């Protein structure tokens, strides 16, 4: 198998050599709504990552039941100029069968499309 390899910096604009994993954003792993404290913490964490030179932010649709993406979207809403300075990636395919946690993978086109559309909505962006 022959595959072309090239640095991510050529494929992803505003890339950094490290990505910030956003799994810890959005508060608790339950269905409770975001709080003002969750939003303030997200601003603080994003600022710390930017100060460290990080420009790539990694999400997944399941992180804190979608609240990690939602709170990051709140940061972007408050600071629209930030979007042009960073890259955002997200992952999908893990399905929750109930509120207890992930139970199986679903890589069907329908699930992936739905997951990406929901991620874009929560992040308040048009593309990953």
Active site residues: 63
Phi/psi class of residue 76: alpha, beta or left (left: φ > 0; alpha: ψ in -120 to 50)? alpha
Q: Phi/psi at 69 (nearest 5 deg)?
A: -70, -40
Q: Which residues pair with 58 in a beta bridge?
A: 21, 89
């Amino acid at each position: 198998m022959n595959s072309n390899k090239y640095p991510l910096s050529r494929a992803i604009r505003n890339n950094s050599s490290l990505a910030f994993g956003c799994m810890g954003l959005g508060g608790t792993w339950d269905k409770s709504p975001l709080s003002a404290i969750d939003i303030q913490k997200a601003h603080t964490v994003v600022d710390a990552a930017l100060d460290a030179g990080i420009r790539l932010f990694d999400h997944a649709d399941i992180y804190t039941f979608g609240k990690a993406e939602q709170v990051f979207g709140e940061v972007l809403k408050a600071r629209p100029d930030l979007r042009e300075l960073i890259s955002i990636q997200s992952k999908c395919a893990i399905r929750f069968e109930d509120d207890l946690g992930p139970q199986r993978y679903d890589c069907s086109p329908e699930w992936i499309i739905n997951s990406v559309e929901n991620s874009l909505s929560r992040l308040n962006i048009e593309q990953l």
